[in-house]
Chain A
Amino acid sequence: MISVSERIAVLLFGLSFFAFLLYLLNRRPVIFVSFFFIIFTLAWRMSATMFIDLQGPVYSSQLARDIGPGTASVVHSLAYVVSLIPFLYCFRPGIIEAWRADSQRSRTIRGDITLSDITFALSLLFLSFLFFDLVRRGSIPLFNRIERFDYAGGSAHRWMIKYGNFVTFWWGVMFAAGYIQQRRFDWRMLGLLCATAVYALLTGNRFSAFYSQSSFFIIPWAAVVALRYRSVDESFFSLIRSRFASWTSRLTAIGLIAVAVGTISFAIYNNLANVRGYTGNEIWRQAFDRTLIQPSEIGWTSFERVFQSGQTEPSLVFHFLFEDPIDPTRNTSIQYLMFASIGEPRTSGNLSHGFQLAGGFPEIFFELFGPYWAWPFLLGAGCITAALTAFVVRGTLCGNYASAFLALYVLYGFFIMYVGGMLNFITTGTYGIKVAALAAALLIEASLARIGVPLVPWVVFRVPQRGWLKRFPFTRSRTDS
């Protein structure tokens, strides 16, 4: 049981975090949009931690024990704020104004083939093959009641599972670049995203695929927000209100949201009822556990160990994470947290079946550095993340697409850290190559910018406007649209 004052503390700090997010959305929308993928996760986890703190003891079926109540929300709320504070500096109004000044609008002329055209053509080919391969194989997980991780698919399917987020991010870059360069929306990219969502639904995905792909798609949209929104003029909410002034636009937006919510709800229900075979109240119980207990159960048990029982062994944790993990090729943080929470042989058993528990951040910092020294490291991680996110937004806005993409590639490791607590991504050799590639791209882009040449040009080549080629639709002028 926790005292009344502790309950107030949990509510106060939990709601303060949501108020901070509301501030980011309304006054610093560039931060909110560019970091939405993680912000959503943090908000969800905050809700789950508050639920366990206030409603506990609640039974966790995965840990096979009761967890809560406590004051984990106080610590987690501050940890999340510490992680987001550096964004306020990296995305300060002055610097966004400078990026806006650097962004250049390009005027394409008849026959220009842009990066967006090439992206669309290649993506269309790939998606066509993806759907063809799905149909050719004969078993569609949605209709054949196959679990998404049991469906092996072909090489294209596996490639999409592994790199789907980067693909949708690139489409997002092209979607945003289309507006920045030509002040028009390239709806083809949104069409590609919708096709990918349909593919995710058909291959038995529930929520995470839609959420991650959509989040990666909208990251570059932060550049458009930076271009259009000036914090000194108005709040973001009033900007949205002005954009959705007519009933038609409002109804369209509500309709799209309803379709998205309906599709995800159907996918979750189908998976629980038809694939996993739950019935009646079990379906709701599973959905409830997945929503309000499982995201924070590992975090709460870690809080119990570190803050309530004072069981911190940083050297032991370091040894497990970086020297002798169960599986060094995967996220070792969650392996340690599972090992500490459910013990062996359940941890090895679960990992060998490809299953791992949710959570990992910020608890792994407190496990590794203790309850006090974790704070500077959380801030440091936040600084690096904010700087990389700034590179992504600046790159999209200023037409530096190589550095935007490579910055996201480097940033992805930190995304996994915020989602699953992974720290061992830094120790892999390939990560060093990614960082070096980003550094090289930034240097080359800076050098080329002095002579006014982009590293990755928006207009890739021009189709000669004579003979039979001029009849093709892609050679029409886009300047006046």
Chain B
Amino acid sequence: MIKLPLFSKVVMLGLLALCAACAIWFLCRPDPPVWRLRTAFHIGMSVSPGAVIAGSPNAQGTIERYASVIALISTPVFRDDIAGASEFETGSAGLSKRLVFNTLRAHAFDHDDEDIEIDLTAASAADCRAAYRTIVERIGRRHADLSAQSAKTLQVAIDDYRERADQLAKWENARIQPGDKASADADRAKSGITLSWSEAREHLRQLEAVKSLMTPTTFPPEAEVYIEGPLVNNTVRLSALAGLAVILCAFVLAWVLEIRTSRPRNTDT
């Protein structure tokens, strides 16, 4: 193995440091500043009439399962739709479209099936808000449709039970003889029609009660949405250069120490 003289080592280290500095300077160049929006929205609630009637404790649930909402937001079709439909500022529209498509993500929270965090990056704060508005509009409309469908099903069930209860009440009234009140009361207690009527009334009451539990999906107002920025990655470049400078300083210090400690040894010999 050839032992290189000190000068050659210094030259080699200098060239290596120069290459590394150039690599940092040109490869880690800062992109245009970007803004990042993060917020969480609350999925509305719906009820299942069948579960209410069956007395299930899980009668109330979200309009759409959180996993389905995350899956929807993660699909390229949805992200492309948001990027395409948002009204971005003219100067930054191109970059914002690319950024929103690439960065729009949805996250779930631990032990919370009703809140979804959305996270996106765009070329300006206004573009972040524009994309957010489109998301609110798309998810809001989808959930409004689902909620309306659910409300309609519930209303059908309520109407059905009301009609059934009315019909049962009519039949029962027609069966009881007028003037024979005591026997009528005894019969009424035992009558199957009366029991069915009572059951129908109870279900009707339950269904009407859960109607108020249905809530729409809600998004925070734009003013309350946190937009972080401008984010620039120039820090990486400057910090890496600082690190490289420290490495160079360490080498120089080591050489100085080595030369200083080797001098007395040489003179001794």
Contacts and interface: CB of A to CB of B under 8 A. Distances in A.
B243 A232 contact: no
B251 A85 contact: yes
B269 to A, nearest CB: 13
Contacts of B239: 75, 307, 366, 371-372, 374-375
A111 interface: no
Given A57-B105, A308-B231, A9 B27 contact: yes
Given A3-B31, A81-B247, A9 B23 contact: yes
Interface in B82-111: 98-99, 102-103, 105, 107-110
A66 B74 CA distance: 12
Q: Chain B: interface secondary structure?
A: helix
B242 interface: yes
Given A66-B105, A78-B240, A371-B238, A12 B27 contact: yes
Contact of B27 (A6, A65, A310): A6
Size bracket, chain A contacts: 35 or more
A428 interface: no
Nearest to A4: B27
A5 interface: yes
A308 B258 contact: no
Nearest to A98: B265
Interface string B230-253: 010101101110111111011100
B1 interface: yes
Interface residues of B, number: 42
A376 B238 contact: no
Contact of A379 (B23, B228, B246): B246
Interface in B20-59: 20, 23-24, 26-29, 31, 36
Contacts of A306: 235
Nearest to B117: A65
Interface string A316-347: 00000000000000000000000000000010
Contacts of A64: 107-110
Contacts of A473: none
A251 interface: no
Interface of B: 1, 3, 20, 23-24, 26-29, 31, 36, 98-99, 102-103, 105, 107-110, 117, 228, 231, 233, 235-236, 238-240, 242-247, 249-251, 254, 257-258, 262
23 contacts: A3-B31, A5-B26, A6-B28, A9-B24, A9-B27, A65-B105, A78-B244, A79-B243, A81-B247, A82-B250, A85-B250, A86-B250, A88-B254, A92-B258, A306-B235, A308-B233, A309-B228, A375-B242, A375-B243, A376-B246, A378-B243, A379-B246, A379-B249
